[in-house]
Structure 1
Amino acid sequence: MSGGYSKKLALRLDARQFTAYEGTPPTRPEWTAARVALVGLSAALVVLVAGLAALGGWLVLRGFPSFSILGGVPLLLVASALRPRLGRAGDAWHLLGRDEAPTLFALLDRISAASGAPMPDRVVLDARFNASAGTHGLLRRRTLTIGLQLFGVLTPQQRVAVLGHEFGHFVNGDPARGLLTAPALVTPLIVADLVRPSEAHVSGGPLSRLVELAMRPFQLLLERLFLLIGAGVQAVAARDRQRAEYCADALAVRLAGTSALVAFMADAASADKLAAVIAATERGTQANPETARRNHPGAARWKEAADAWRATSDADEALEKSITEEASLWQDHPPSGLRARIARSWPYTDPSVVLSQADSAKIEAELHRFYTRAGRDIAWSAA
C-alpha cells in the first residue's frame, strides 16, 4: 500500500470515527467486526499452539526413547516460541512508593474513587515526555507510568487530565490490551523473528555455506510475509485502540474538565518541540556543576521554558496540523487535534477532581529528587 493512499485512508477512517463520537462522550469501546476478528484469530492461534505442543509431547514420549523424538522436540520448541504472552512488568526507572509521594498518591486515590477505576498495583516514574497505563502477568497487575518531563510542565488540572485518561484504560475495556486479542497481535511478529536469517555465518564447510545462501531468499520472503501480516493485524486493531483512547478522554474530561484536556492535547500535538525545549534547558542546568549537583531546580526551569515556548506558539495551528501529520493506519492514538475537537463537541464539563496549586506544589517537592535524576538522563541522552 503506497504511503499516499494509506494516509488518505487513515484520514477517512479518522473522520468516520470522529463522527461516531461527536457530541456524545463514549463510555466503553463496543464490540466491532474488527474486535471479533481479532478474538477469533487469537483463539485459532492458541488452539494451533496447543495442538503443536500436544503433538510434540506425544512424539517425544511415544516409545521413549525412539527416533520420533527428532520430530517432537522441534514441535515443542516452536510451540514454546509461539506461546501466548501475558506481558512483563519490565524494569522500572523508579518504582514509586506511597511513603515517597503521599500527596501524589492521595490524588491517585481521589481519581480512583471518582472514576470507579481500580488503583494501579505499581506506580512507575521515568524520564520521558509521556504517560502510560498497562496490565501484565497472569494476575493482570496494573502499572501506571508517569513521565517526569511531561508531568513537570503541566498545570495542576492538566495533571488530573493525564492521570484520569490513564486510569480510563483500567476500566474502558481496551481490546488491544486484553488477553483475548494479544495472540493475534504478537504472533505474526514472533514468527517473522523466528524465520529471519541469522546475521552470523554458519560454521562448517562449503556445503553448509551453500545451504545457508540457498535458504536466505526464502527466509527473507517469509520474514517479509509475516511482517506484512503483522502490520495488517495492527492496522485492524488500531481503530479499536483509538476508540479506547476516546473513551479514556471522556473520563479525563469528567474528572479534570473540558479545558484541561483540550490544553493537554495542545501540548501533545507539540510533544517533540516541548521535549526539545526541556532538553535544551536541562543542558544549560547541567553545564553548571554546582547547580546540577546541589541546587538543581527540579522541573521549575522546564516549566518556565515550556511556558515561554507556549507563549510564542499557536496552539490551534499545532492542533490542526496534527490531524494530518498524526494520521496513520497503524497509529493507536487518534490525532491530538481530533481529540481536542471532539472534547469541545461534548457538553462543556467543569472538573469533578480539582488539584489545588498548594497540593500541586507539594507533589513537586515530593518528586524533586526524581526530577534531578531525570535531568541528568535528559541531558546525557540529548548530548
Structure 2
Amino acid sequence: MKPRFEYTVHATDGMARTGVIKMKRGEIRTPAFMPVGTAGTVKAMMPESVRSTGADILLGNTYHLMLRPTAERIQKLGGLHKFMNWDRPILTDSGGFQVMSLTELRKITEEGVTFQSHLDGSRILLTPERSMEIQRMLDSDIVMAFDECTPFPATEDQARESMELSMRWAQRSRNGFNSGEEHASRTALFGIVQGSVYEDLRFKSIDALTEIGFDGYAVGGLAVGEGQETMFRVLDFTMPRMPKDTPRYLMGVGKPDDIVGAVERGIDMFDCVMPTRSGRTGQGFTRRGAINMKNARHKDDTRPIDASCACPACTQYSRAYVHHLIKAGEILGAMLLTWHNLQFYQDLMANLRDAIAAGKLSEYAASFRAEYASGDIDPL
C-alpha cells in the first residue's frame, strides 16, 4: 500500500541532504524543483513534456484556480490531476501570496483577506478554512497553510504582527485540513515559516508551527526583494532550527545560483516561474549563464542553446532557428525555450542530488558557480 506521506533522507553533506518523499501518486526526489502550473498548466508545455524533463511534482495555485475555472468545476470534472492530465503529485499554493500582491484591492482582517477579483471585480473573502476547502476540491497532494506573505522591507513590529497572524491562521488551516478526513487521509499539509529578516521572529514562527504539527515546513517571505545576501543570511540562522525529519521548502526561489546556495543550507524543495517566464520572453539558461535569444549574435549560430543539454530544443534545433522563432513571435519559440529551461533546472537538481550523495557538494557548487559566471562563448 502506497504511503500517504513519507520522507526519507538518503544522504547528507553538511546541511544539505538528498532523499525521497513517497506519496500515493508517486515519489518526489529531493532536492526537487517544482515547475509552476499556476492555472492548471505549465505555460507553453504539454504535461508529458514536463515529465520528460525529470519533474516529479508540479505546483498549482489556489487563487487563480478558484477564480477560473473555479474549484467547484474542477472537482465536478474529476479533480485537478484528471483535468490537466498530470497523474503525479501536485502541490497547491494556498493563494496567500497572490492575494497579498493585490495591495490596493484587498483588506486583511483576523477572519481572512477580502479582495477584488482581477477578472470581474467581484469581492471575495478568502479565509484559512476556505483555502483548505478549495485545495481539497482540487484534490491537491501537498496542501499549503494559508498565511500572510510579509512584505519587504518591514519593521520588526510589522513583521511580528504579520507572523503572529499567520500562526493563528496556521492553526485554523490545520483544523480545516483535518475536517476533510477523507482527503486528509491521503495528502499532506505544510506550514509556512514567516518573520521577515528577524531571527527571533523566525524562531518563534518555527516553534509555533512545530507545536501545531505539519508534514513539511516552508520558508516564506523571502525572494521578495531582499537580495541574495540577505536571503542566505536568513537561511543561515533559520535552517538549523527547522525540523530535520520533514521536507523543507523555500517558496518562490529562484535563480539557479539561489537554488545552489539554498540547497547548501538544507532546503529540499523549490518552485519559481523563472524558467517558464524566461522561456516566453527570450531568455535561456545555460551552464555558462543566462543568454538572451533575441540578440542578433544568435541569428547565424548553428550551435545548440547548450551543447550539454539533451532536450529537443538543443538536440534538434539551432540557436539561429530559436532566435528566428522568437523574433518572429512564433509560439514554437516559447515552447522550445521553455522546454530547454525546464530541462536545465531539472538537470541542475539531478546534479545536486548526485553531488550530495557522493559527498562532493562543495566541489560541485564551486564548479557550477565558476562556469555559470564565465559567460557564453561567442560563435566562431
**Superposition TM-score tier, normalisation by shorter sequence:** under 0.3
Q: Which has the higher helix share?
A: 1
Name which one, 1 or 2, has greater alpha-carbon Rg.
Answer: 1
TM-score by length of 1: 0.24
Q: Which has the higher strand share?
A: 2
